[in-house]
Chains A and B, each alone.
Chain A
Amino acid sequence: MNSKVKATAILKDNLQNFFFVLPAFAIFCIFYIYPFYKMINLSFYDWRGIGPMHFIGLANYKELMSDHLWWNSIWHAGYITLIALTFQNVLAFALALACDREIRLKRFYRAVFFIPPVLSEVVVGLIWNWILNPQMQNGQYIGLLNHFLYTSGFPQLVHNWLGDPKTALTTIAIVHSWKGFGWGFIIFLAGLQTIDKQLYEAAKVDGASAWKTLTNFTIPMMLPVILVVVILTILGSMQVFVLIIAMVNEGLVNHTDVPVTRIFSAMQNVNRFGYACAEAVIFGMILVCVSFIMKKLSDKAKQA
């Protein structure tokens, strides 16, 4: 009798405790687990969003393998990522190095560099859309960049930066880097500040040049931090999407497509939900592989 009372008490206790996680668990199951399952499930179907669903096995994946627009879009995202990894992160690292010293207005720079990353992609995209505007009105260029090039004596450089297939993707990549370097800057700076300043003094006494100190000492010390920034940059840049929508809308479809715009247009423009899900699954797997490899690398760097 007594044990029965005890058992019900424990059960009641467990139930009570479970109620604490119930709201989170319910939302998570409905809005994360179910879409996750549905995404994989739908990728085996031919479905127009409404009406009957036809099971077609791996046909979506087969089509995807030979869809050169899809693989192009992955290359585009890779190109943006490459520019972000080099241009953006080197800039972020250099600025962090500069701000690690005792310089004037340090706090001001820290605050200002931090503004672009917290602005939304829509705001950044629309502002740059205006800066890069190629049109003229009343004999003047509307866009700041072309106006500046024209008035400062380089009229031959005036260009439709976002309208020309040759420059559109690079322009987007540079704006993306402009928006993103502040994150890297802040993380690098936080990392640099944990390095003991006396070690720099010691290196100076030993007669090491500034460049030697950087390559032999600062960069190896910063390796774990650098790898974190690299992972964040890759994951962030591969998934760039809203910035492109805000900058070119769907103007240059085949030249500025990235995987997420492909997924979106498969769903929204041609109503191929199954195909969109197959694209999402493949792209998700690529990202998981990349972040897994990077994680392994960073674990190794931490051990060394």
Chain B
Amino acid sequence: MTNETVFIDKALIPHHLNFGNFAVAWTKGNFAVYFLNSVIYTVCVVTGIVFISSLAAFAFSRLKFPGKNIIFYMFVGAMMIPLPGSFVALFVLVTKLHLVNTRFGYILCMINVGLSMSILLLKTFFDKMPPELEDAARIDGCGKLGIWWNMAMPFARPAIAVIVIFNSLNVWNEYILAMLLLEDTKLMPLQRGLVVFQGANSTDYPVLMAGLTMAAIPIILICLAMQKYIVKGLSSGEVVG
């Protein structure tokens, strides 16, 4: 597609395809950097959420320590209370920690976003794990960490799939925190990059469309392949704010 065809050719299927715009978007539009950043953030945040939330959910479900119930209900409460403007205070905090405009700061904030729902979902799964499994592992000489890794994690695989897909969507599509916390174009994810590009080149539709396609295609593919997991994630996070 050229600028001409976007404007003139209103046919649903373009007459001739021109992949040159992807090359232009990739280089001139800086979308290669944005795309790579989105991949980095998604992988880091989702990996972080899976490890941190499964450790916590395992402890809430199987281990004993003082204050366990209070801490658990704090996570449940966090899911129930919508916090629409918390980004103001979050921005103040991240500034104080000198993490504005760093990948690390953004990743930590995004891990926090997905944590409560993931812990809740995994805990209900670990609760269903038969105690015999655990006993067998203990007889084999597994410690608590060993039981978590060798028994609980494989047992909870369906729940982990839901968590991975649902959180990947969330991180890939996130915009508000990326806008507030990342000022450097080298650090921006795709969603933020698209708005920046549109602000600078409002009529360069072919390249913008190439960028939009880049942002949409992975999501559409995941959505078609993994629909049932996404629905499960939605219904378990019913009142997420």
Contact = CB atoms under 8 A, between A and B. Distances in A.
Given A21-B56, A32-B112, 13 more contacts: A21-B55, A23-B56, A27-B112, A35-B92, A36-B83, A38-B93, A39-B85, A118-B220, A183-B234, A238-B84, A264-B87, A284-B81, A288-B81
Contacts of A21: 55-56, 59-60, 65, 68, 71
Given A137-B7, A190-B231, A273 B239 contact: no
B136 interface: no
B173 interface: yes
Nearest to B209: A130
B117 to A, nearest CB: 12
Nearest to A125: B195
Interface string B66-91: 10100100110010111111111111
Interface stretch (A60-68, A95-103, A205-213, A227-235): A227-235
Central interface residue in A21, A151, A239, A267, by most chain B CB within 10 Å: A21
Interface of B: 6-8, 10, 51-53, 55-56, 58-60, 63-66, 68, 71, 74-75, 78, 80-93, 108-109, 111-112, 115-116, 119, 144, 148, 169, 172-173, 175-176, 191, 194-195, 198-199, 205, 208-209, 212, 215-216, 219-220, 222-224, 227, 230-231, 234-235, 238-239, 241
Contact of B75 (A28, A144, A190): A28
B65 A287 contact: no
Interface in A91-149: 110-111, 114-115, 118-123, 126-127, 129-130, 137-138, 140, 142, 144, 147-148
24 contacts: A18-B65, A21-B68, A32-B78, A115-B223, A120-B175, A120-B191, A121-B175, A122-B194, A123-B216, A126-B195, A140-B7, A190-B231, A241-B176, A242-B175, A249-B199, A273-B92, A276-B85, A277-B85, A279-B85, A280-B83, A283-B84, A284-B81, A291-B82, A295-B239
Interface of A: 13-18, 20-21, 23-25, 27-28, 30-36, 38-39, 42, 49, 110-111, 114-115, 118-123, 126-127, 129-130, 137-138, 140, 142, 144, 147-148, 151, 183, 186-187, 190, 228, 231-232, 235, 238-239, 241-242, 245-246, 249, 259-260, 263-264, 267, 273, 276-277, 279-281, 283-284, 287-288, 291, 295
Nearest to B82: A287
Contacts of A31: 90, 93, 108-109, 112
A138 B6 CA distance: 12
Central interface residue in A27, A32, A121, A183, by most chain B CB within 10 Å: A32
Closest 9 CB pairs of A and B: A280-B85, A20-B59, A120-B173, A24-B56, A35-B89, A31-B112, A17-B63, A38-B89, A39-B89
